[in-house]
A and B are shown apart, each in its own frame.
Chain A
Amino acid sequence: MSTASQSVSDAGPLARFLSSTLGKKTVMAVTGFIMFGFVVGHLVGNLQVFAGDGGVKLNAYAAFLKNTPALLWGTRIVVGFSLIAHVWAAAGLKRLSNEARPVQYKMHKHLQSTAASKNMFWGGISLFFYIIYHLLHLTVGVASPIAGSFSHTNIYGNMIASFQNPALVAVYVFAMFALGMHLYHGLYSLFQTLGLSHPAYMPRIRLGAKVFGALIAIGFSSMPVAILLGAVK
């Protein structure tokens, strides 16, 4: 046995799995699904902004989360870890993919791939920067436009104050469009990656991914837009 293959088989099974492209894809699929679960919960919780009660429900929900540190920090740790693992795997795969075709084609036509699938990497990068800003803006409260007036208890007020700014609303809506596209390909793709594929239900999975992607994008966008238009005050 050569020394090279010796060192591969001597590596632990997990290290070996994670060093392969399929291992990294599995990490992306599983962590992506965890983050999708978080996004659904986040959306459902935040839609209470439409309760029409001046934010009583939403602020009570936020207070409940604050007073249940096991839930709040449990979620933050799991989702934060998922995000780091997702980005780590994506970076590794992107590097491999760049190396896999050192000389580009002069002409290369795409016949079947969707716009969503081709923009997973750059869409993902945009989302990563959006998430950092979003946390600084509405979780930590140190980013403009409400850096000075941020309240840790009145999150409803934070939202109303922020989304009077059309440029900020545009950024949020664009980010949610990117999220919807990312989820459309990601949700479909994770079934394929994990090997859960069957010709009978793949079209339904694709449709389901499209519907969920759209619902999430529209659901989240509806909040800043409604505030900007004055429908939620």
Chain B
Amino acid sequence: MRITLNVWRQKNARDAGGFEKYDCPNVSEDMSFLEMLDVVNEDLIAKGRDPIAFDHDCREGICGMCGFMISGVAHGPESGTTVCQLHMRKFKDGDELWLEPWRAKGFPIIRDLTVDRSALDRIVASGGFVSVHTGSAIDGNAIPVPKPNADLAMDAAQCIGCGACVAACPNASASLFTSAKISHLALLPQGQPERDRRAINMVERMNAEGFGHCTNIGECEAVCPKEIKIENIARMNRDYLCASFKKRPEVKRVED
């Protein structure tokens, strides 16, 4: 099949960037989208031109490295799928596609389709952890966890941090990501000691990274390759609200 690609090319963060057109006459429908780009890149390299930069790692939909917009939809037209797991059979012969990087202030462009998503790492670092004791390992079933909670926590923990939710949101909000990271710990007994602090710190970090607010419209949920639900955002809001009202002034350390 024949596919025409319009790819966003941008040398670095300061370059203005623009679309370039590529004609791909021999695309096999068994290729994944990234394999198709590999073929385009081999061709570009053979011609002595710069290959298209795009992020990828596992290519099996579990690491969260890949992702860009395909004709206005994060990760392309197949729902619940990362772009590395998207196959060319989902497109028609003669299709013209537009590839763009995630666009958000919190995701500065590194080159072409790759963006810097370390803002998401900083959100996790601000509160996405639990305290554990460092003695001998405790018995596996010592802490009872209700099955429904374990399931919900697992659903939230599926988030691979690809950033598609930010990319799809009209406000470039990172609420789905942050709420998934808050939820998968808040739903488990091990996450309770830091629950309030976690909600406050992660939400404030999310705001400080320059992501927008959530208008509850659900575009993030529609593109999430792991099908994380916006119910998690409600849980984050609830935790943040309660934590803000329960918060007491911290005891200040006396400087010596």
- Tell whether A192 pairs with B100 under 8 Å between CB atoms, given A22-B240, A100-B211: no
- Tell whether A111 pairs with B222 under 8 Å between CB atoms, given A96-B212, A96-B213, A106-B19: yes
Task: State whether A192 touches B230 (Cβ < 8 A).
Answer: yes
Per the CB 8 Å criterion, the residue count for chain A at the interface is: 48
A20: chain B residues within 8 A (beta carbon) = 203-204, 207, 240
Among the 9-residue stretches B44-52, B56-64, B103-111, B131-139, the one with 4 or more Cβ atoms under 8 Å from chain A is B103-111
B105: chain A residues within 8 A (beta carbon) = 99-102
Per the CB 8 Å criterion, the residue count for chain B at the interface is: 48
B217 contacts A by Cβ under 8 Å: yes
Task: State whether A100 touches B216 (Cβ < 8 A).
Answer: no
Task: State whether B219 touches A25 (Cβ < 8 A).
Answer: no
Q: Which of B71, B204, B214, B229 contacts A109 (CB 8 A)?
A: B71
- Tell whether A21 pairs with B219 under 8 Å between CB atoms, given A101-B172, A106-B98: no
A148 contacts B by Cβ under 8 Å: no
The 0/1 profile, CB within 8 Å of A marked 1, for residues 231-251 of chain B is 101111111110010010010
A193: chain B residues within 8 A (beta carbon) = 214, 216, 234, 237
A41 contacts B by Cβ under 8 Å: no
Residue in A9, A113, A189, A191 with the greatest tally of chain B CB atoms within 10 Å: A113
A185: chain B residues within 8 A (beta carbon) = 216-217
CA distance A120 to B240 in the complex (A): 24
- Tell whether A110 pairs with B100 under 8 Å between CB atoms, given A97-B212, A100-B210, A197-B231: no
Interface residues of B in 25-46 (CB under 8 A from A): none
Q: How far is the CB of B102 from chain A (nearest CB, A)?
A: 10
Task: State whether A24 touches B213 (Cβ < 8 A).
Answer: yes
CA distance A202 to B241 in the complex (A): 20
Q: Which of A99, A102, A113, A194 contacts B238 (CB 8 A)?
A: A194
Q: Which of A19, A107, A117 contacts B98 (CB 8 A)?
A: A107
Q: How far is the CB of B11 from chain A (nearest CB, A)?
A: 15
**Chain A residue at smallest Cβ distance from B71:** A107
Classify the secondary structure of B's interface with A.
mixed
**Chain B residue at smallest Cβ distance from A101:** B172
- Tell whether A25 pairs with B237 under 8 Å between CB atoms, given A100-B104, A110-B219, A189-B215: yes
Task: State whether A26 touches B241 (Cβ < 8 A).
Answer: yes
Task: State whether A25 touches B247 (Cβ < 8 A).
Answer: no
A104 contacts B by Cβ under 8 Å: yes
CA distance A24 to B173 in the complex (A): 14
CA distance A26 to B229 in the complex (A): 20
A8 contacts B by Cβ under 8 Å: yes
**Chain A residue at smallest Cβ distance from B239:** A195
CA distance A120 to B247 in the complex (A): 32
B165 contacts A by Cβ under 8 Å: no
Residue in A23, A25, A118 with the greatest tally of chain B CB atoms within 10 Å: A25
CA distance A108 to B50 in the complex (A): 27
CA distance A16 to B204 in the complex (A): 9
Task: State whether A111 touches B73 (Cβ < 8 A).
Answer: yes
Q: How far is the CB of B8 from chain A (nearest CB, A)?
A: 8
Instruction: List 19 A-B residue pairs with CB atoms under 8 Å apart, sorted by A's residue number.
Output: A21-B173, A22-B203, A22-B241, A25-B237, A26-B241, A97-B212, A99-B210, A99-B212, A100-B106, A105-B69, A109-B71, A117-B216, A189-B215, A189-B216, A191-B234, A192-B216, A197-B235, A199-B229, A202-B231
Taking Cβ atoms with an 8 Å cutoff, the residues of B that contact A are 19, 69, 71-73, 98, 100, 103-106, 168, 170-173, 203-204, 206-207, 210-219, 221-223, 229-231, 233-241, 244, 247, 250
Given A19-B207, A21-B212, A114-B217, output 5 extra A-B contacts at Cβ < 8 Å.
A21-B203, A22-B236, A118-B170, A193-B214, A195-B234
